[in-house]
């Protein structure tokens, strides 16, 4: 996963299911879902966050 400068980045954290609970963090412009699937199949945890100005619009119900 590679990122171009100035682009919105995703931060993908891979948490291994080993005795050290190893963590690998990658930043990329795109998320490789086949890579995510490999880690999940091995019983690992994956967290994906967006970096670079993603804004969520809040809708009130009142």
pLDDT per residue over 22-51, tens digit each?
999 999 889 999 999 999 999 999 999 987
- 4 in a domain, yes or no? no
- 59 in a domain, yes or no? no
| Adjacent-strand bridge partners of 10 | 28, 50
Element (H, E) at 48: strand 45-51
Instruction: Note the pLDDT of residue 3.
Output: 47
- 42 in a domain, yes or no? yes
Average pLDDT over residues 12-26: 92
- 40 in a domain, yes or no? yes
Contact between 14 and 39 (Cβ < 8 Å): yes
Nearest-angstrom CA–CA distance, 22 and 7: 28
Look at the chain and report how many structural domains it folds into. Answer: 1
pLDDT(20) > 60 = yes
Tell me the residue range of the domain where 30 lies.
9-51
- 61 in a domain, yes or no? no
Q: Per the confidence metrics, is the pTM higher than 0.75?
A: no
> Mean pLDDT over all residues of the chain?
82
């Amino acid at each position: 996963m590679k990122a171009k400068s100035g682009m919105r980045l995703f931060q993908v954290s891979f948490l291994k299911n080993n005795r050290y609970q190893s963590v690998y963090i990658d930043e990329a412009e795109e998320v490789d879902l086949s890579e995510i699937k490999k880690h999940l199949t091995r019983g690992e945890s994956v967290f994906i966050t967006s970096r670079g100005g993603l804004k969520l619009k809040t809708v009130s119900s009142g």
